[in-house]
Amino acid sequence: MRLKKKYKVILYVTLTLILGWILTVSGISAYKYLNLVDAYDFIVDGEVKYTIPSDQYDDLELLMKKYKMDFLSVSNISNSAKILSVEFKQDIQVVERKVEEEELDSIDDIALEFQKNEEEAIYHTIVENDNLWDIGVTYGMNLAKIVEYNPFLGAREEKDYMIWPKEVLLMKPANPVYDVVVKLQNTALEPVPFETIKIEDKNLFTSQRIILKEGIEGEKNVVYDIVMENGYATSIEAIQETILKEPVSAEVKVGTKRTLSYGGGNNYGVTTGRLTSGYGYRTHPISGVKTFHNGIDIAAPTGTGVYSYASGTVISVSQNNTLGKYIAIDHGNGLVTRYLHLSKFNVEKGDKVSTGDRIGSVGNTGYSTGPHLHFEVLKNGSYQNPWNYI
């Protein structure tokens, strides 16, 4: 049954009064409510930073996406890497609500804030007689970090990372107001070291080796989980290894006079620790660039003892940008061993050392991403596979 006209009027007035009362109680006038506009709050870590008109929502989404993608374009990431996520470090939310028109901001305000930094980048301009070693000490950085921030130096590796006056080096990246975290996975091809079967020969000196059968390194794929913040790696973790080719053992005839040797587990003779890199070609877990590694790396805490592989004469106690603090020992018959990235020397040039003498301590100097010993073997000036000797 239809309501009579006068009852309709009464119902309309009643509903209007009720709505007016509700809005008045809530502090909003009916007129004001009817004049609110649709908008979106730009919320950072729970705090409303900006409020934009609803018609600028798509522009805001595009602005945030482009800002995040820019960190992919400037990062040194291999084309083969699998990007898992690209997200803001801050908790950023865009929430719809109604506001008064005078409360609105412009998306240009947000775009401007995306260009700001909490801390500006720090640069160093090369002057005459500068060297990367001293520059690193001044800024509290190792060479590996300097090269990471200045990739063009990587092309100069064979020239000991040469620098020239007036060149500008990035020593600390800018810290933007809004941080971007990129998570990715990449696979690197790495060598698997071979075992060496040693056959004793009393007619050979300790420094003499006759290789009866060359060892052949195996190959493995290593999958890395990598986290990058604002274009630079903060975490690199190996999560899976797949053997592609098994190594083949070497057979070597050795002298019977004692030399240090790999004792199994974490005892590598010249120091104790964890093998982090073998001899031969390897690929970088982020860039995928293939380089030749002319020794073995054994990670150990700074200060861990480093010992002479065999008796001989110390021919070098020095330091430079790449090798850090290092020692070279001549064992005779063209055999020389080198010990790189040390934190401390226990010998001087010209000293005579015996097998097992402590010559220094593990460190993190030169081109080093963490405390470790880089151990090299040279025969008549040519690099040898250390696994044939220890």
Are 354 and 209 members of one domain? yes
Is residue 94 predicted with pLDDT exceeding 60?
yes
pLDDT at position 227 is: 95
Are 276 and 147 members of one domain? no
Tell me the per-residue pLDDT of 185-215, one tens digit each, with 9 for 90 and over: 999 999 888 998 999 988 776 767 899 999 9
Q: How far apart are CA 215 and CA 280, in angstroms?
A: 12
Are 131 and 207 members of one domain? no
Here the tokens at position 341 are 């990235």
In a domain, 4, yes or no: yes
In a domain, 96, yes or no: no
User: Mean pLDDT of all residues in the chain?
Assistant: 89
In a domain, 244, yes or no: yes
Are 154 and 243 members of one domain? no
- The 10 Å Cβ neighbour count of residue 53 is 17
CATH code, 190: 2.70.70.10
pLDDT at position 29 is: 54
**Residue that terminates a domain, selected from 172, 202, 230:** 172
| Three-state secondary-structure class, residue 381 | coil
Tell me the per-residue pLDDT of 11-62, one tens digit each, with 9 for 90 and over: 655 666 665 565 555 555 555 667 899 999 999 999 999 999 999 999 999 9
Q: How far apart are CA 129 and CA 166, in angstroms?
A: 12
CB 289 within 8 A of CB 307: no
- The two beta strands, 209-213 and 218-229, are unpaired
In a domain, 112, yes or no: no
CATH code, 134: 3.10.350.10
Are 135 and 243 members of one domain? no
How would residue 239 be classed by pLDDT, with cut points 50, 70 and 90? Answer: very high
Are 307 and 363 members of one domain? yes
Are 370 and 237 members of one domain? yes
CB 121 within 8 A of CB 170: yes
Are 156 and 185 members of one domain? no
In a domain, 101, yes or no: no
| pLDDT > 90 in the chain, percent | 67
Here the tokens at position 92 are 């950023």
Tell me the per-residue pLDDT of 108-126, one tens digit each, with 9 for 90 and over: 999 999 999 999 999 999 9
In a domain, 11, yes or no: yes
| pLDDT > 70 in the chain, percent | 89
In a domain, 152, yes or no: yes
CB 234 within 8 A of CB 227: yes
How would residue 291 be classed by pLDDT, with cut points 50, 70 and 90? Answer: confident
pLDDT at position 76 is: 78
Find, among 221, 180, 225, the residue nearest to 75 by Cα. 180
Are 197 and 237 members of one domain? yes
CB 282 within 8 A of CB 191: yes
What ranges in the chain are assigned the alpha helix state H?
5-25, 30-34, 57-73, 107-114, 132-139, 143-149
AA identity, residue 172: K
pLDDT at position 95 is: 96
Are 313 and 371 members of one domain? yes
Is residue 247 predicted with pLDDT exceeding 60?
yes
How would residue 99 be classed by pLDDT, with cut points 50, 70 and 90? Answer: very high
Phi, psi for 205 (deg, rounded to 5): -70, 165
Domain around 129: 122-172
Is residue 8 predicted with pLDDT exceeding 60?
no
Domain count, the chain: 3
Are 227 and 372 members of one domain? yes
How would residue 1 be classed by pLDDT, with cut points 50, 70 and 90? Answer: very low
pLDDT at position 64 is: 96
Is residue 4 predicted with pLDDT exceeding 70?
no
In a domain, 381, yes or no: yes
AA identity, residue 353: V
Are 262 and 331 members of one domain? yes
